[in-house]
Amino acid sequence: MSVRTTRAVLVAATAVALSAALVAPALAAVPAGSGHEATRKAAEAAVGAGVPGVTVTARDGRGTWSATAGTGNLATGAPRSADDRYRVGSITKTFVATVLLQLEAEGRLSLDDSVEKWLPGVVRGNGHDGGKVTLRQLLNHTSGIFNYTADEDFGRTYFLKDGFFEHRYDTKKPAELVALAMTHEPDFAPGTSWNYSNTNYVLAGMVIEKATGRPYGAEVRDRIIKPLHLTGTSVPGTRVSVPGPSSRAYSKLAETATGPTYDVTRINPSIAYSAGEMISDSTDLGRFYTALLRGKLLPREQLAEMTTTVPVDARNGYGLGLMKSELSCGVTVWGHGGGIHGSVSEAVTTKDGRHSLAFNLNGDWSGDTGAVIEAEFCGTDKAPERTGSRGPDLT
């Protein structure tokens, strides 16, 4: 399976409020011409590059601005909506990391605990040793544990055309995903390097379930979604549909960006589990990251842990389920990106939570997400080189 560069970077976001009283009221939409024209043009450029459609929402001191470009349904020609719900892929990771940090704040676990302590015998084989990997190393991708979505057979089965249409409704257990990773050697010894691995966050979800006795999705709902009134956000489990309002999701299901385009909206997201199964919308994502970075979801100590990063490259660092990215104009944003079949998303914010951006492309083979982020925060579509990967992989 080849992983193509399509998402710009794992980037920013602020956080969202812990209770209804803490959630800021929605502001009136800002009319066109109020400072977001570069963002609009970058979204239109993504459509010009082949993405079916884009939906984008930004919030700053002037209010909330939304725009759409292109098509939400290639069969009917219906446009995208600012209210679209979509699969957010690895943006799920920030929700999962937040729950684990909340559990640490409650004294129910420590991020310095080994994976072996919580999941005995699960991380073992071909050089993997859960006794040498900490929960912190799962969250910041320094564990060295092999990324199960990089397995070639898994890629052919779930990301390329023939395999996808045969297996799109398969249910995969998290233990099966981890077991697949264990058939490979680790990427490096724990703590000695950095490499993005979806297996880390499958394990993180399993630890949440072991520590609480409840599904990780129930903890996400009760600790984040409900208190923040994120009405467009859900943890689907094995549900194959995306709740409305929503657009269709499209992929080439190939290792090239040419050829036929397929509707891949319906899929059993258990293949992503706590590494990337969630659904949300742009308003909810902006609210979540704003509240998070403003300290509404985590105590100061845990937020400091989350925002302590390890270097990824010259401009990017990875914290605990949170990416720090320096843009070309010197602005630093925090958040995460996500890619899953037919859906590429980004949610970023300044650290003070005063300026947030969230958007989605309903095609996974084209479009420069970095240019959209640069346009919003720097007023230009010049995008520096970023770290990330494009669908139809889980990113």
Look at residue 1 and tell me whether its pLDDT is greater than 60: no
Give the whole-angstrom CA distance, residue 193 versus residue 189. 8
Residue 55 predicted with pLDDT over 90: yes
pLDDT for position 394? 73
pLDDT score of 381 = 55
Cα–Cα distance between 260 and 114 in angstroms, integer?
46
For residues 54-61, give the mean pLDDT.
97
Average pLDDT over residues 365-391: 74
How many CA atoms lie less than 13 Å away from 40 in the CB half-sphere? 13
Catalytic residue from among 66, 90, 114, 251: 90
pLDDT at 103: 98
| Residue keyed to tokens 């799962």 | 138
Residues 264 and 97 sit within 8 Å (Cβ to Cβ): no
Whether the pLDDT of residue 13 is over 50: the answer is no
Reported as a single tens digit per residue, the pLDDT across 313-351 is: 999 999 999 999 999 999 999 999 999 999 999 999 999
- Predicted local distance difference test score (pLDDT) of residue 214: 98
> Is a pLDDT exceeding 80 seen at residue 22?
no
Question: Looking at the predicted structure, is the pLDDT value of residue 209 above 50?
Answer: yes
> Minimum mean pLDDT among 7-16, 180-189, 378-387: which range?
7-16
Residue 5 confidence class, pLDDT cut points 50, 70, 90:
very low
Report the pLDDT value the prediction gives residue 389, as an integer from 0 to 100.
37
Residue 93 is which amino acid? K
Q: Is the confidence at residue 19, as pLDDT, over 50?
A: no
Q: What pLDDT score does 35 carry?
A: 78
% of the chain surpassing 90 pLDDT:
87
Q: Can you give the pLDDT at residue 382? A: 54
CA dist., res. 12 & res. 356, Å (int): 8
Tell whether pTM > 0.85.
yes
SS3 sequence, the chain?
CCCECCCCCCCECCECCCCHHHCCCCCCECCCCCCCHHHHHHHHHHHHCCCCEEEEEEEECCEEEEEEEEECCCCCCCECCCCCEEECHHHHHHHHHHHHHHHHHCCCCCCCCEHHHHCCCCCEECCEEHHHCEHHHHHCCCCCCCCHHHCHHHHHHHCCHHHHHHHCCCCCCHHHHHHHHCCCCCCCCCCCCCCCCHHHHHHHHHHHHHHHCCCHHHHHHHHHHCCCCCCCCECCCCCCCCCCCECCCEECCCCCCCCCCEECCCCCHHHCHHHCCCEEEHHHHHHHHHHHHCCCCCCHHHHHHHCCCEECCCCEEECCCCEEEECCCCCEEEEEEEEECCEEEEEEECCCCCCEEEEEECECCCCCHHHHHHHHHHCCCCCCCCCCCECCCCC
CB 178 within 8 A of CB 199: yes
Compute the average pLDDT of residues 238-259. Answer: 96
CA distance 96 to 101: 9
**The predicted structure's pLDDT at residue 287:** 98
pLDDT tens per residue across span 292-305: 999 999 999 999 99
pLDDT band, very low/low/confident/very high, at 23 (cuts 50, 70, 90) = very low
Give the per-residue pLDDT at 80: 98
pLDDT at 124 over 50: yes
pLDDT surpassing 70 at residue 283: yes
380 pLDDT band (50/70/90 cuts)? Answer: confident
Q: Is 343 assigned a catalytic role?
A: no
Mean confidence (pLDDT) of the chain: 90
- Model confidence at 366: pLDDT above 70: yes
User: Which pLDDT does position 393 carry in this prediction?
Assistant: 63
| Helix orientation angle between 198-212 and 92-105, rounded to the nearest 10 degrees | 40
pLDDT for 6: 25
pLDDT at residue 74, as a whole number: 98
Per-residue pLDDT for 21 more than 90? no
